[in-house]
Amino acid sequence: MKRVTIKDIAKVANVSYTTVSRALSGSSEIGEGTRQRILQIGKDMGYTANAVARSLVAKETKLIGLLVSSINNPFMSEIAYHVEESARKKGYNLMLCNSSGNIEQEEEAYKLLVGRQVDGIILVPCGAHSYERLHPYLDTVPTVFVSENLRDIQESYVTVDNHRGTYIGVEYLYSLGHRSIVYFARRLASTTHQLRAQGYGDACKALHLKPQYVDSHFASSSIQHGYTLALEWFRGKHNYSAIFAAADTIALGILQAAEECGVRIPEDVSLLGFDNISFSALPKINLSTIEQPKHMMASVAVEMLIEKMKTPAMRYSHKIMNPELVIRGSCKAVPQI
Amino acid sequence: MKRVTIKDIAKVANVSYTTVSRALSGSSEIGEGTRQRILQIGKDMGYTANAVARSLVAKETKLIGLLVSSINNPFMSEIAYHVEESARKKGYNLMLCNSSGNIEQEEEAYKLLVGRQVDGIILVPCGAHSYERLHPYLDTVPTVFVSENLRDIQESYVTVDNHRGTYIGVEYLYSLGHRSIVYFARRLASTTHQLRAQGYGDACKALHLKPQYVDSHFASSSIQHGYTLALEWFRGKHNYSAIFAAADTIALGILQAAEECGVRIPEDVSLLGFDNISFSALPKINLSTIEQPKHMMASVAVEMLIEKMKTPAMRYSHKIMNPELVIRGSCKAVPQI
DNA sequence: GTTTTATCTGAAAACGTTTACGACAATCTT
DNA sequence: AAGATTGTCGTAAACGTTTTCAGATAAAAC
């Protein structure tokens, strides 16, 4: 269990531990002979450098904190996957924290990461209030927000153009002949959802459609939310031909309700989602949706963060990605009468 | 950006930094008056303890390394979620590494975690060969394997009783009247899958059924694997009434193929999966399956690991969880003729 | 043959903590 | 009242590295 240190090697090699350090760190001011000899001894003794000690003197840990609201969520885990990959390729490792969508816990975790001396933090915040809450700590560690539009706020973030996402979604449904599109929203304290709702509204306006929002204040899981909302909706008499769900998870709930109510999708009503989580591609689900380029977002977030770490002078930068329409089988053209 | 240290506080409070350390660490050998005064100053100055420095002297980091083959996988991300939670509750944080199912990368990541001085490692290995490969390092850091049966191997692990899982699955299908059950396997270098196949075989033997394995050596994603296998299978003429998929992902692929081939599930053929990933609960999927108690497995793994960290004398321990049958809508009784 | 230069090595400080040890005063014994 | 005990605080060493500075040796230049 006792780990071998630089000093142990020094004793065996009969040199000072400074020399050993130089041999291992690839410094130039050391004889090639001694270097090889020391390297060999190090290998023989099974030496691995102590990153903790190294971090202490270097004043950098080569660690990135990844703080998400729930890793057990297809969207976040996909982000996490790509963040890990990008970070690793750049020589950084990940410290993972869950906030469970709880803002107190998010603050707690953030402080913890600061204490752990991470070089930077990538944050998928649990809501729009995260910014205010975390504001006091924000200039302790370079931070990049992901997926949450902070609009004109003075902090780095990368996100998708949510407004445009719903906008092109409505346009697509319109092009299929739909003239009455209901929006199943999620009234969360999140600018993301505010912008999506707004994009929907603006598109309707531009196309001379009457916007119709369905929502409730009752909050639970998104999928449950979509389910209960849709159940009630299908029971009533409404004039509409398509549903735009503010998130794929909501669409999943709607799908369930539709099945129970005998509503066929897409034969009776078209359904469009947002996010393109991996679930949606399943053949049995086969949901048309608006894609968030998660891979891109993750790698851009990492690059942006590293950039920010290197140039402390930089205040912030924003990057807004393009959403893309993914056509699968849940939307159908309205039959011409 | 300059972080405030214990010495900065000491200067302001006009005491030695030792005293500050004592005040913050809740040591008893300090006056209550000075403690309060120092605590207040610390708060005012925005002090957060440097965990790196602390780790160096304490010779423990309070970090657990979580090494999975892919965090972007419903099973793993669920494990990760619960591991994070359990660990946090016990005062540990997580370092996350992905091996991408690649054994070289797994070794790389493991060594990296060792260098980072994590107190322990929870490993969801990419295959049966992981053990041999990692063996040289295994007594550097307490390690617990998750989800991979290592059988009589001398290393700690927690897993589900895979043999029993398929066994009770066959029994269930038998009880529904099925007498001809095909097993869609995954010939991976994993004891997990070996045991599942064996459990299926043994159950068939016990019930006087003829086991029938479908598999191919062609490896790709499990879902793709299930799809191609099923496509071919459905095209042929076979005498069977139920399919047992070695994993839910395989079942997902089968579902897709069934849809394309006009095979109705469960009307024409019953389908049973294994793992109970969150996908499977979706109403449109609604897959009956064998559940791995992931929450339990994760928290047990953490407890087991902490136990192992505390008592270096302990060599290893094994924990095998009970699989449970989850009945949904993909299996149907065979009509009595 | 002496000085300069280049090359290699070591001593020591630093990073921010914790902790063993000792010093000193105040309080408690008998 | 003298010694023993207790409570509070400071000094210094330690954790395992990197890095600065200076020293030593050998080769090159004059």
The string of pLDDT tens digits covering residues B45-98 is: 999 999 999 999 999 999 999 999 989 888 899 999 999 999 999 999 999 999
CA of A209, C1' of C15: distance in angstroms: 65
Q: A191 pLDDT band (50/70/90 cuts)?
A: confident
φ, ψ of residue A142 to 5 degrees: the values are -55, 130
CB burial of B171-187 (b: ≥16 within 10 Å; e: otherwise) equals ebbbebebeebbbbbbb
Q: Is B124 on the interface with A (CB under 8 A)?
A: no
Mean pLDDT, residues A286-311: 96
Which residues have C-beta within 8 Å of that of residue B151, sequence separation ≥ 6? B191
Task: Determine which helix (DSSP H) or strand (DSSP E) holds B204, and give its type and residue range.
Answer: helix B191-206
Q: Report pLDDT for B151.
A: 67
Best residue in B52, B62, B114, B228 to probe A by mutation, most A CBs within 10 Å? B52
Q: Can you tell me the distance from the alpha carbon of B250 to that of B254, in angstroms, rounded to the nearest whole number?
A: 6
Classify burial at A39, counting beta carbons within 10 Å of its beta carbon; exposed 0-12, middle 13-18, buried 19 or more.
middle
Quickly count helices (H) and strands (E) in chain A. Answer: 12, 12
A215: pLDDT strictly greater than 80? yes
In degrees and rounded to multiples of 5, residue B154 shows phi and psi of -90, 60
Residue B15 makes CB contacts below 8 A (sequence gap 6+) with: B34, B38
Nearest amino-acid residue to D20, taking CA and C1': A18
Radius of gyration of chain B (CA): 26
Host H or E run for residue B212: strand B212-214
CA atoms within 13 Å, Cβ hemisphere of B209: 26
Least-confidence region, from A333-337, B15-19, B23-27, B259-263: A333-337
Separation of B10 CA and C29 C1' (Å): 37
What is the reported pLDDT for A337? 58
Nucleotide nearest to A32 (CA to C1'): C8
Which residues of A, range 31-50, sit inside 8 Å of B by Cβ? Answer: 48-50
d(CA A306, CA A140) in angstroms, rounded, equals 15
Rounded Cα distance, B282 and A185, in Å: 20
The whole-angstrom separation of Cα B308 and Cα B312 is 6
Give the pLDDT band (50/70/90) at residue A151: low
Tell which phi-psi region holds residue B245, choosing left (phi > 0), alpha (psi between -120 and 50) or beta. Answer: beta
- Retrieve residue A307's tokens: 């950039």
Q: Is the distance from CB of B64 to CB of B120 less than 8 angstroms?
A: yes
Residue in the structure block whose two tokens are 């990844």: A66
Banded pLDDT at A148 (limits 50, 70, 90): confident
Q: Search chain B and give the residue with CA nearest A2.
A: B140
Strand C and A30 CB separated by under 7 Å: yes
Closest CA to A153 of A164, A162, A165, A145: A145
Across the interface, of B70, B116, B260, the residue whose CB is closest to A93 is B116
Instruction: Round the average pLDDT of chain A to a whole number and report it.
Output: 92
Q: Which residues of A touch B72 (CB under 8 A)?
A: 77-78, 80-81, 278
Residue of B84, B278, B310 best to disrupt the A interface, most CBs of A under 10 A? B84
